[in-house]
């Protein structure tokens, strides 16, 4: 598999990098988090995080502890923690919610930017926030209904439209790993593109894939990359890092 530097995983040669908004300072200027075919969020997600550099959103994340954010490794690898801030619990990526500075970034040691798996990282906040966290779920088998949320590009062609200010959501499901290429089915989730034209796009990177259980949301995935290598978004399933598969590593560093 080709290098996927800062990609939601479309290969570098396809120039489909899914992680932030152009001008994100020390973070890649080629990251643009969006969801195609979604709609404005119909509720507030207290755990939803906008990782920002100089006020510019560059990746999504999930608040799993009051002072820890889970995101994708490709979002923060090589980035100085001092340049990262987090806006937490607001559906508007430009205002509201709580803000916190990052003090530490932990990238999974197995992440190499090329191999499948390990596209996961932790961001330590300078101080705890009040927002409610999201617990790690366990249901990841094919057929599991799930939801994607993020500030993602709402058109499939790179640069064809700007990032929405309001958080977007899209209901989808986990599908058989064989539907995605370049995936490690024991560590990653293949996530459907409903209708063949909706799903994660340039930049939803690091954002959550969640499932509803007992009337509450649980976290099962972190946006990683495309599942078919097409430079046009949502033409095939997307690959998400399985959070349950990395729960032991997460707990080594947090109390999650």
- Classified as helix, coil or strand, 59 is strand
Do the beta carbons of residue 125 and residue 67 sit within 8 Å?
yes
Note if 146 is an active site residue: no
Active-site option among 74, 198, 238, 242: 74
How many Cβ atoms sit within 10 Å of the Cβ of residue 247? 14
Note if 205 is an active site residue: yes
d(CA 214, CA 5): 37
Active-site option among 30, 53, 67, 119: 119
| CA nearest to 124, candidates 56, 45, 65, 209 | 65
Q: Which residues contact 176 (CB under 8 A, 6 or more apart)?
A: 142, 190
d(CA 124, CA 67): 6
Active-site option among 46, 62, 146, 205: 205
Report CA 32 to chain centroid distance, whole Å. Answer: 11
- Classified as helix, coil or strand, 223 is strand
Note if 108 is an active site residue: no
d(CA 148, CA 104): 26
Positions annotated as catalytic residues are 74, 119, 205
């Amino acid at each position: 598999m080709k290098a996927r530097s800062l990609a939601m995983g479309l290969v570098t040669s396809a120039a489909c990098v899914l992680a932030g908004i152009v001008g994100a300072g020390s973070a890649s200027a080629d990251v643009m988090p969006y969801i195609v075919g979604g709609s404005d969020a119909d509720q507030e997600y207290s755990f939803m995080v906008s990782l920002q550099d100089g006020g510019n959103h560059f990746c999504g994340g999930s608040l799993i502890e009051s002072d820890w954010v889970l995101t994708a490794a490709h979002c923060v690898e090589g980035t100085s923690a001092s340049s990262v801030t987090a806006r937490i619990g607001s559906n508007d990526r430009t205002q509201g919610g709580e803000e916190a500075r990052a003090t530490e970034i932990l990238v999974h040691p197995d992440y190499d930017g090329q191999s499948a798996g390990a596209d996961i990282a932790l961001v330590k906040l300078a101080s705890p926030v009040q927002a409610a966290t999201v617990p790690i779920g366990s249901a990841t088998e094919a057929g599991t209904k799930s939801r994607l949320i993020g500030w993602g590009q709402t058109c499939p062609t790179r640069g064809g439209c700007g990032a929405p200010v309001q958080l977007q959501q899209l209901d989808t499901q986990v599908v058989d790993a064989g539907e995605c290429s370049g995936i490690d089915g024991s560590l990653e989730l293949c996530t459907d593109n409903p209708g063949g034209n909706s799903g994660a796009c340039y930049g939803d990177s690091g954002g959550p894939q969640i499932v509803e259980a007992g009337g509450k949301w649980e976290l099962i995935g972190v946006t990683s990359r495309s599942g078919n290598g097409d430079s046009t978004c949502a033409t095939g399933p997307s690959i998400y890092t399985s959070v349950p598969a990395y729960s032991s590593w997460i707990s080594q560093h947090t109390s999650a």
